[in-house]
Amino acid sequence: MTHLSVNINKVALLRNARMLNLPNVVQFAKDCERFGADGITVHPRPDERHIRYQDVYELKPVVTTEFNIEGYPNEKFLQMVLEVQPDQCTLVPDPPDVLTSDTGWDTIKNEDFLKEVISNLQAKNIRVSIFVDTDLKMIEGAKAVGTDRIELYTGPYSEEYAQNQEAAITNYQKAAQLASELGLGINAGHDLNLHNLKYFKQNIPHLLEVSIGHALIADALYYGIENTIQLYKRLLQ
């Protein structure tokens, strides 16, 4: 079964709206695991508008499933990741001021940079995934830089899914097939939800993990977090 990693950024965003530790991000992560999540994802940004760097250090000793830290590999981020040593680090090409991750790496233009970063992370036994679009040249470039996995950016899939499911999935199938042939693990994330996740899972072979935050947390407002996690996990079976 494809693993479900719950991104808890939006929980931290809610907490940061008041000068209270409510909701408690660490306890929420523990509860997500207790309710069936296969992993916890955080994406600290330079302005710490949701997950704070201190949260990452506090989460490390309590997360018992897979701990995945996402982010742009600047000096501060890499120092934190090397100190925390999560199970997986997902590298994204976000500039500091973006609202959310919305594009994959140019693995050809950034080849030397990514090679160095990935090598340093792997030397600490941290599995590395890099955020990519479905461009096959970028998939080939991902293999060249030495990453363990790719995370397919599923924003375009989500946008087109309602109009034409087959058209929405076609490029992802081709990208996943190439990645599999190259020996790359396949993750996916961004705007996956209860409506479009099952179809994606059914049509993408060798899908190891999805990371879902915004939609899952929004659904939890209606269904409760325990029930919501189980709803998503059923779609991944």
Catalytic residues: 43, 70, 190
Task: Report the run of H or E that residue 4 belongs to, with start and end.
Answer: strand 3-7
Q: Which residues contact 231 (CB under 8 A, 6 or more apart)?
A: 194, 219, 223
Three-state DSSP class for 96? coil
Q: How far apart are CA 171 and CA 149, in angstroms?
A: 18
DSSP per-residue codes, 22-83: -S-HHHHHHHHHHTT-SEEEE---TT-SSS-HHHHHHHTTT--SEEEEEE---HHHHHHHHH
Task: Report the run of H or E that residue 178 belongs to, with start and end.
Answer: helix 165-181
DSSP per-residue codes, 102-115: -----TTTTHHHHH
Pairing of strands 207-212, 88-91: unpaired
